[in-house]
Amino acid sequence: MSQTVTNAEHNVHPSDQEGIAREPLVLNNRSMSWITNRICGIVENRQPLIWWILFVPSVLLAGVLGFTLVYLVSTGVGIWGNNQPVAWGWAIVNFVFWIGIGHAGTLISAILFLTRQKWRTSVNRASEAMTLFAVVCAGIYPGFHVGRFWMVWFLAPVPNANAIWQNFKSPLLWDVFAVSTYFTVSVIFWYIGLIPDLATMRDRAVTKVRKFLYGLFALGWRGGNRQWRHYEMGYLLLAALSTPLVLSVHSVVSFDFATSIVPGWHTTIFPPYFVAGAVFGGFAMVLTLMLPVRKLYGLEDMITPKHIDNMAKIILLTGTIVGYAYIMELFISYYGANKFEKDAFHLRILSGHYTWAYFCMFFCNVISPQIFWFAKMRKNLWVVFIIANFVNAGMWFERFVIIPTSVSMDFLPGQWGFYSPSIVEKWMFLGTFGLFLSLFLLFLRFLPVIAISEVKGVLPESDPHHHDWEEIKARRNAAHRG
Amino acid sequence: MSDTKTSPIPFAFVAEFENATELYHAAEHVRDEGFKRWDVHTPYPVHGMDHAMGLGKSWLSALVLAGGTTGFLTALFLQFFTQGSLYPTIVQGKPANLSTIPAFFPVLFELTILFSAFSVLFGLLIVIMLPRWNHPLFNSELFKKFSDDGFILVIESRNRKFDVEGTRAFLEKIGAKRIEAVEEDPV
Amino acid sequence: MSALKSAEDYKTGEILNSAKAAPIRVLFSTIGGGATLLFIIVALLSKGEFQKGMAYSWLFAIVYFLTLSVGCIFWTLLHHASNSGWGVLVRRLMETVGSVVPALFVLALPIVMIPGIRDALWEWFPETHRVNEEWAVQKEDVVRKKFEEMKSGIDAGQLALDARKKEWSAGLEKAQPGEKVRIEAEMAAAEASQERLKEADPSKAPVQNEVEDEAEAEHFKHASPVLASKRGYLNPGFWYFRYFMFGIALSGIIYLLRSWSLRSDSDAANAGKWFRLMRKWSCGFLPLFAVSWTFLMFDWLMALDYTWFSTMWGVYLFAGAALNSMAFLIILLVGLQRSGHLLKVVNAEHYHIMGKLMHVFVIFWAYIAYSQFVLIWYANMTEETKFYLLRNSDGWNLYAKVFLVAGHFFLPFVFLLIRAMKKNMTWIAAAALWNLAMHFFDLYYVVIPERGPSLSGGESLLVPYAWITDVLAFLAVGGIFCYFVLRNLGQGSLYPCRDPRLDESLNLTN
């Protein structure tokens, strides 16, 4: 309880002491033009060798995805490992996995915007991009999982040949609406955020093609306050719309499971638990991507240890919430006195085929992030990177634990069956990583990875009342010493 | 500075200021002077500038409310009409009437958000009058700095209070670092 | 634009004007004390269902004010843990409202401790009692029978073993070497199993206890199958233990945070130290807080019908608590400002943020309530649906539509969308009052529908005139609660005047 207060600390007013004073979000007093140059430079200069080393295999992997999809459509879903009773195998596991990853982007953009967390500015652009690419990857799975891909338009609210409409009472249809709305709104959000930065790119462009293309998409942005004020309102509104939207998307995904009566799926805490898990996994993916990007492109002054520290804290928080949900599930499976529910969890954690997956999940998602209670660990980039990857894996396992284990052994033992993915499914999953990475690398190549205008806005001197704050600081220090 | 001799009345004066604080105070002066067609162009939205320029709250939110309501009603109609009267399918042990509304909530919600988001996008573009790829201000080299680190104030000549000498002197008085006159496109 | 405010000008703090507060305190203590007295008198004079039903009234009132208090603990924890700056000026109010928790736990003692009252609320108590009584009657017979069975089992086993031994020894003489090994192994196994039987000799004391326990568990399972499977959690000893632990945990958290906060007011030199201490512990307290609150609500409310369960339950009650404690804080703040306090420091920007937080939790509550309802309604499983089935019977259906769907969500949701309403002291106070009223109906809907069916054995939905004691209990606990809030408010400055983040809160802009 007692902390030694050093003499040096006594000379500083408490408001300016370490750990209390607000840390700068851009280090080394970088100027605005430095920020512009550094971020635009990534796009304008040649890409480093490592970009190509990553890009080529990613594209090849994405090609594998294309190949497996063609193979799938031309042959039929029988080439997957799905069976009875496990009709929802990796396809749905991977769908939920990618959709979950897609949640951090909107969280950073919207929720942190609404709660005035200024540190979001350095990472929001990349995570929004990541969101879009993750949703693209996610969308592939249910699209092809319907079996007859050429009939996928049945998902849209259009009556079929017998004039029967879609069943709006079905969670699967809610899913179609939720995911497509989410993708559309995320694109709008992302694009509106990009407009001022595209204008910056336009004004710096040296080649005609660039000037034309960036100019085209910048829509002639002039950065006048008469534009900014509406722009800010629009951005705020989109943030306010996206926040409940992001909650709804994963809640609806959880409804796919929880509205059923399958033991292990039907539990009321699923919606918030899925949302927390999605944010958790999404942040881990943001860290996985941004730690190397930061190093590679020299963005350490804008993505500072403070940013990483905050993201690690969010991982700790959401990981613990997920842990709370796991414990609630276990407790209620005991307390609920429902035989099937009890057995489902018994098989899940003690004696089933997939017990190992449960423990992988529990370790990765609940235990491993607890290391972030220690500030030192949050500052150690290697630790953060490793834990982030644990979480990536853990969140995949979570979906795996929920989906196949619950249906593989449900009510009738005579109907029990074991599920293991086929080689096509495995390559398909790897392929989506290829697609995801290729898209992300292209994004790095062509668009500003950090929101330039927003980072400029959080510099201390950007505040027109900056000098008044300096005065207050001077005054309190004078009073403190005097 | 561009040449002002060819046409005595330029499209506008573009003035650069040192930093956000200077620009903020300059905006207060311009506001008090009574100019109507003027603006400040900054790399990021300056906090409190609406107040300094004497602008009210953006009314975009009203538009979005209308969009959201449309979305809500669309979803309501789509679901009740198709499920309740056009071709009722009695499945999942749920009736095909108003009592099933909890099952219709997710789509109601999603479409409300979707329509609202579209009205943000299109409403915003209409309100800020974009896209407009060509604008006289793009003729100015000084103006281009707004997207990097320039704090730019533009007073258009279409102001009743505008006069070439007086306005330039005024801009100098309120602390402009550099002033440039911008011509409209010759065509 | 005017210059910013400096915390240097506000570091002396501001104390509650006792001349103004005293009459209100007297008023609240009169209401609280009077209503409590009346409640006790009615309880003593009445009888039957009505009298038992008063236990529900008291529980409802306690839970209502506990949510306000516990919600304030959450806001205090969140303020520190999120390293926030805006709320410094209202943090002392959060701490003060939170600090009433111990009083509420004391007020809950009668319903928790007095068997007659307790049993009216939580049916698993009388159920456990009934099964135990039955067992006491049957115990001797059942156990004796078991012993006899076991003893005869041992004897019969010995006889069989002896007979087979003879066979084996005869066989052994003729056996091939390989067969010999097999027979010897069989013999050893048979002897060992007989040994095991003998070890479980019921004339030995430990074995007797084991057998008794087994028989008791079997009896319980037979007599009350559902309760039997959750007996490890729902048993009187553990239940009391939890009541005390949760009381200590919740009270302890806010006691520590509040006393550190109060001490930092007068300890300018170490303001930084106190600040860091509170932040550090707030993070650590959060999981403890979550677990205590969740299981307390399981114990008090979910267990009102011990056969029902929902994993979302803790979150649902948390959502209501966070929402309405913010509403209460707004009311308190408006009250203080109307009576001339905090006028120089708190302004429309603070109300705006508090209004936004209230708005967020209006939505969050609706989200949680809807999710819980829709999942149970959609899956339609008997043991879960009963909760909503009861609450959709007769008048409760309309009640839920009016007060919960429209009143608790739609109206405040739309109203709070308007920015001007959140910045205006009067309107935001009106919205806060509205929310508190709806919270009344929300918790009423959670607690009270259980009363009629529980007490009448499923004969009637409502206990006639019981609403009178509901209101009476609400006034009693509410009066005492408000009295303690005002009393504790006078124990220090109305805002933490030495907080290092005071500058930020003073110059808040949205």
Is A15 within 8 Å of C7 when comparing Cβ atoms?
A: yes
State the amino acid at position C465 in one-letter form.
Y
Q: Which residues of B touch C419 (CB under 8 A)?
A: 57
For residue A4, pLDDT beyond 80: no
Token representation of residue A240? 């306010």
- Give yes or no for B66 touching A (CB within 8 A): no
Q: Which pLDDT value is given to residue C160?
A: 87
A262 contact partners, CB below 8 Å, separation of at least 6: A406, A407, A410
- Give yes or no for B186 touching C (CB within 8 A): no
For residue B2, pLDDT beyond 70: no
Least confident range from A7-11, A391-395, A401-405: namely A7-11
Nearest-CA distance C75 → chain B (Å):
28
pLDDT, greater one: B185 or A368: A368
- Give yes or no for A474 touching B (CB within 8 A): no
Is C370 within 8 Å of B103 when comparing Cβ atoms?
A: no
**Nearest to C495, CA basis, from C301, C261, C226, C331:** C261
Nearest-CA distance C361 → chain B (Å):
17
- Give yes or no for A15 touching C (CB within 8 A): yes
Facing residue for B102 by CB, picked from C1, C373, C509: C373
CA-nearest residue to B101 within chain C is C374
Count of pairs with CB atoms under 8 A, one residue in B, one in C: 19
- Give yes or no for A76 touching B (CB within 8 A): no
pTM for the complete prediction? Answer: 0.93
pLDDT, greater one: C200 or C2: C200
Cβ neighbourhood burial of C145 (10 Å; 0-12, 13-18, 19+): exposed
For residue A6, pLDDT beyond 60: no
CA-nearest residue to C370 within chain B is B102
Facing residue for C4 by CB, picked from A328, A342, A468: A468
Task: For chain A, give the percent of residues with pLDDT over 70.
Answer: 98
Place of tokens 């930020």: C504
Cα–Cα distance for residue pair A350/A359, rounded to 1 Å: 10
The rounded mean pLDDT for chain C is: 92
Q: Which pLDDT value is given to residue A9?
A: 58
Cα–Cα distance for residue pair A106/A127, rounded to 1 Å: 8
Is A231 within 8 Å of B40 when comparing Cβ atoms?
A: no
Q: Which pLDDT value is given to residue B1?
A: 44
Facing residue for C378 by CB, picked from B47, B52, B103: B103
Residue A227 pLDDT grade (very low, low, confident, very high; cuts 50, 70, 90): very high
Q: Cite the beta strand spans of C20-72 per DSSP E.
A: none
Chain A residues 253-282 within an 8 A CB cutoff of chain C: 255, 258-261, 266-272
Residue A3 pLDDT grade (very low, low, confident, very high; cuts 50, 70, 90): very low
Is C1 within 8 Å of B57 when comparing Cβ atoms?
A: no
CA-nearest residue to A4 within chain C is C273
CB A321 within 8 A of CB A361: no
Is C276 within 8 Å of A20 when comparing Cβ atoms?
A: yes
Q: Which residues of C touch B51 (CB under 8 A)?
A: 1
Cα–Cα distance for residue pair C397/C382, rounded to 1 Å: 19
Chains that touch C (3 or more CB pairs under 8 A): A, B
CA-nearest residue to A370 within chain C is C284
User: Which of A75-84, A332-341, B57-66, B116-125 has the highest average model confidence (pLDDT)?
Assistant: B116-125
Chains that touch A (3 or more CB pairs under 8 A): B, C
Is A245 within 8 Å of B113 when comparing Cβ atoms?
A: yes
Count Cα neighbours of C238 within 13 Å in the Cβ-side half-sphere.
Answer: 8
pLDDT, greater one: C423 or C180: C423
Nearest-CA distance B46 → chain C (Å):
13
For residue A92, pLDDT beyond 90: yes
B26 contact partners, CB below 8 Å, separation of at least 6: B15, B17, B40, B153, B174, B175, B176
Domain boundaries, chain A: 34-182+246-468
Cα–Cα distance for residue pair A371/A383, rounded to 1 Å: 9
- Give yes or no for B17 touching A (CB within 8 A): no
Is C309 within 8 Å of A336 when comparing Cβ atoms?
A: yes
Reduce the DSSP state of residue A474 to 3 states and report it.
helix
Q: Which pLDDT value is given to residue B24?
A: 93
Facing residue for B21 by CB, picked from A199, A202, A464: A464
Q: Which pLDDT value is given to residue A10?
A: 62
Nearest-CA distance C7 → chain B (Å):
22
For residue C186, pLDDT beyond 90: no
Is B148 within 8 Å of A454 when comparing Cβ atoms?
A: no
Is C6 within 8 Å of A472 when comparing Cβ atoms?
A: yes
Least confident range from A173-177, A299-303, A470-474, C409-413: namely A470-474
- Residue A468's Cα: distance from chain center in Å? 38
* Helical segments of C301-400, H only: 313-338, 348-379, 382-391, 395-399
Token representation of residue C111? 């319903």
Cβ neighbourhood burial of C411 (10 Å; 0-12, 13-18, 19+): middle
Q: Which residues of C touch A1 (CB under 8 A)?
A: 277
Q: Which pLDDT value is given to residue A103?
A: 85
Longest dimension (CA), chain B: 82
pLDDT, greater one: C477 or C162: C477
- Give yes or no for B98 touching A (CB within 8 A): no
Task: For chain C, give the percent of residues with pLDDT over 70.
Answer: 100
Cα–Cα distance for residue pair A212/A204, rounded to 1 Å: 12
Facing residue for B105 by CB, picked from C370, C380, C509: C370
Mutate to test the interface with B, among A181, A187, A452 (most CBs of B within 10 A): A181
**Nearest to C224, CA basis, from C119, C299, C131:** C131
Cα–Cα distance for residue pair A445/C488, rounded to 1 Å: 60
State the amino acid at position A413 in one-letter form.
P
Q: Which residues of B touch C373 (CB under 8 A)?
A: 102
- Give yes or no for B158 touching C (CB within 8 A): no
Q: Which pLDDT value is given to residue A468?
A: 86
Place of tokens 């937080």: C357
Nearest-CA distance C340 → chain A (Å):
27
For residue A68, pLDDT beyond 50: yes
- Backbone dihedral angles phi then psi of residue B178, each to the nearest 5 degrees: -140, 145
Nearest-CA distance A83 → chain B (Å):
24
pLDDT, greater one: C205 or C355: C355
Is the complex ipTM more than 0.90? yes
Residue B91 pLDDT grade (very low, low, confident, very high; cuts 50, 70, 90): confident
Q: Which pLDDT value is given to residue B3?
A: 47
Mutate to test the interface with C, among A4, A15, A253, A402 (most CBs of C within 10 A): A15
Facing residue for A233 by CB, picked from B23, B60, B109: B60
CA-nearest residue to C6 within chain A is A472
Q: Which pLDDT value is given to residue A178?
A: 95
Mutate to test the interface with A, among C77, C266, C309 (most CBs of A within 10 A): C309
How many CB atoms sit inside 10 A of residue B18's CB?
A: 12
For residue C317, pLDDT beyond 60: yes
A185 contact partners, CB below 8 Å, separation of at least 6: A238, A241, A242, A245, B113, B114, B117
CA-nearest residue to B51 within chain C is C1
The rounded mean pLDDT for chain A is: 91
Chain A residues 13-72 within an 8 A CB cutoff of chain B: 31-33, 36
Is B102 within 8 Å of C377 when comparing Cβ atoms?
A: yes
Q: Which pLDDT value is given to residue B187?
A: 54
**Tens-place pLDDT, residues C85-127:** 999 999 999 999 999 999 999 999 999 999 989 999 999 999 9
CB A43 within 8 A of CB A446: yes
Cβ neighbourhood burial of A435 (10 Å; 0-12, 13-18, 19+): buried
Mutate to test the interface with A, among B37, B51, B116, B124 (most CBs of A within 10 A): B124
Q: Which residues of B touch C374 (CB under 8 A)?
A: 102-103, 105
Count of pairs with CB atoms under 8 A, one residue in A, one in B: 218
